[in-house]
Amino acid sequence: MNERVTAKAGRATYQDVLDAPEHMVAELIDGALHLQPRPAFPHARAASMLMIEVGGPFDRGRGGPGGWWIVVEPELHFGDDVLVPDIAGWRRERLPAFPTGPWLELAPDWVCEVLSPSTRRIDLTDKREIYGEAGVGHLWLVDPIDRTLEVFARRDGAWVLDAALADEAEVKAPPFEAVGFPLSALWIEAS
């Protein structure tokens, strides 16, 4: 369950993130500390399999063009907001060297959020808005319960739906249209 924790005196700070229990993912959104436990297995499976499907060809260049850094749960600092997307990617032309610090302020070129009942609302509203304002160019929303993928691109200051895929559809979607994979690879039933 996503838990919004009110700071003792005013707005939450990065110290509140650092002080969060180790078993929780902590984010700062509009001055509030949000805590959520590690995801359930359908969520974890979808994120893990997507990392394999995208990371191989785009990060490692295995069967694909390479040229990306693809990272699981990076900590992103956008002003006072601290977000932890499920997966994010940067084109290496924008981020030539892999970062060594605990967080990054450079907006990713691509972010993926895997929707869970406890995080769905905040992923679809507050976080999507912050990603857009920070300059993220592409946003994927994976729903392992409904077995869907929605692919958005930022155009003229708004998120525009590029693709809506379900079940076993072939995924060849921006910014990773060079190499496809079956969406069914993300679901628990896939082997």
| Position 56 pLDDT exceeds 80 | yes
Burial of 173 (0-12, 13-18, 19+ CB in 10 A): buried
* Inside any domain, residue 18: no
Span 62-88, pLDDT tens digits: 999 999 999 999 999 999 999 999 999
Domain ranges, residue 150: 39-186
| pLDDT value of position 121 | 95
Percent of the chain with pLDDT over 90: 89
CB neighbour list of residue 66: distance below 8 Å, 6 or more residues apart = 57, 58, 59, 60
Task: Average the pLDDT over 21-37 and give the result.
Answer: 93
Yes or no: say if 70 and 59 are a contact pair by the CB < 8 Å rule: yes
| Position 5 pLDDT exceeds 90 | no
* Inside any domain, residue 13: no
Round the average pLDDT of the chain to a whole number and report it.
94
* Inside any domain, residue 5: no
Q: Is the peptide bond before 182 cis (omega within 30 degrees of 0)?
A: no
Please count the structural domains in the chain.
1
Tell me the CATH number at 129.
3.90.1570.10
* Inside any domain, residue 1: no
**38: DSSP letter:** P
| Position 156 pLDDT exceeds 80 | yes
Yes or no: say if 64 and 55 are a contact pair by the CB < 8 Å rule: no
| pLDDT value of position 109 | 98
| Position 93 pLDDT exceeds 90 | yes
| Nearest-angstrom CA–CA distance, 74 and 182 | 25
* Inside any domain, residue 174: yes
